[in-house]
With several copies, the nearest count.
Chain A
Amino acid sequence: GKSSGPAGKNLKLGCLAISERMVQWIKEGLTPLGYNVEIVMFDANQLPAVALKDGNVDGIIANHRQWMQTFNKENNCNLEMVQPYLFRSFYAIYSLKYKKVADIPQNAQIVIPGDPTNLSRSLIILREAGLITLKDKTGHFYTVLDIKDNPKKIKLIEAEITHTARSIQDADAVIATAYHISAKTKIDPRDVVFEDPQNKDYPLGLIVRSEDVNSAWVKEAVKIYRSEQYRAKFNEVYKGQYFLFD
């Protein structure tokens, strides 16, 4: 950091609505160690990463690693996700009407997240589920332009990520995270139509600038989120929604 560098033990940590608690617990752990931590909450988009890159915050828990790598490429920067990673989300196809992928009818409406990484990920889920096939990726992400075959003529509706779960009543199926599904609906998040096989490939965790990876506070932070206490709290709050890495 430039002005509010970790040397001064003043830290700014960025988060999203979903990760606010996780950062909060880290803050609670760092404070007794003499760190002065401020939490900045962002809407879900690339601004937390931009802020991190610019030195306006010192660490974020917001985006998954895949996205971070793209961001690095696009912005010629070196953000790094601290290992061990913290958690992963659980994506799946959910539906109120159908139990199996095979049941999904012709011309079905499937609501998928519209932001690029999740859209890309959703397209892969659909491909893995055998509903569509994809061409070669042209950009960083798959887009609907990359769909090659769509035998069931499935209609994809790109919505805001939380809205996918909200609209489950109105669609034939949605692609959503366990977190959103369990928060908004009474569905058991494990009651999936099709689980995303890539779930493990999208780790989330504390992202910092690469030069800070070995700094003292990061080490402390890792210690904190690897602690049993932290894990217990996490599992209590996000049980069945997000999954810690072992």
Chain B
Amino acid sequence: MIPDGYWAYWWRYFDGIIAPSIGATLRMLSVSMLFSFIGGFILAYFLILYGPQGLRPDRSKYRVLDFMVSSIRSFPIIILIVAISPITRMVVGTTIGERAAILPLTVAATPFMARIIENSLRGVDRQLIEAARSFGASDFQIIMKVMVKESVPMIVAGTTLATITYLAATTVAGAVGAGGLGAVALNYGYQSFNNTVLYTSVMILFIMVLIIQRVGDWLYKKIL
């Protein structure tokens, strides 16, 4: 079935184009997820602190945060890339390439992570918060030692979800010359009428999704 030389042909693309893009994808994804987790966590902390049913409700502060989060989320990611390019240039020194893609990806993923973590924290039983209050825990301690502790499985599941979502989003990073599997699938595969590249990269994306999901599920189960 498979014509002679197909594997050589396949290998040529795999080795030259797909393989390097796997690394690029993994680097972009892991770095941007790491930073957006941290950023999202901090935002979620304050959303939970000042939120309407929060520990120290503060309408105006919550409004500001909510506004920030919502406004970033309203940018289609490709447009976000352009909108923050002056900042990207300041921070990273360039607006092209892998490193320049990480900042907008992080910025886009941060409010998403913030909502994911906020939603998880909101699910914590209020009686536990009261119990912590009863022995004089500070708001910081209540969030960190009670709410976060109790919702770790939820946060893990949410982070798994977010990671897979942003794996697909790294495709957009191709726009700023960052490469990545999604961009390869799009440019070298789909647009070049090259099904070999297209399906190989989608297959690799699929394997990545599976691995992320499995790792997430394993962590969830282990941690539960």
Contacts and interface: CB of A to CB of B under 8 A. Distances in A.
For chain A, give the interface size range.
35 or more
Q: Is the interface of B mostly helix, strand, loop or mixed?
A: helix
Interface centre among B13, B172, B183, B188 (most CB of A within 10 A): B188
B67 interface: no
A159 B179 CA distance: 8
Interface residues of B, number: 30
A33 interface: no
B187 A162 contact: no
Interface in A155-191: 157-160, 162-163, 166-167, 169-171, 180, 183-184
The 5 closest A-B pairs by CB, nearest first: A160-B175, A159-B177, A17-B187, A157-B177, A183-B193
A42 interface: yes
Contacts of A54: 89, 94-95
Interface stretch (A86-94, A114-122, A216-224): A114-122
Nearest to A70: B193
Given A57-B96, A114-B183, A163-B176, 13 more contacts: A20-B192, A41-B183, A43-B175, A50-B95, A115-B191, A119-B187, A145-B13, A157-B96, A166-B82, A167-B176, A167-B177, A180-B193, A183-B192
A143 B177 contact: no
A162 B191 contact: yes
7 contacts: A45-B186, A74-B193, A111-B177, A157-B96, A158-B174, A162-B191, A169-B89
A139 interface: yes
A16 interface: yes
Given A50-B95, A119-B187, A169-B89, A145 B193 contact: no
Contacts of A171: 96
A162 B176 contact: no
Interface in A75-89: none
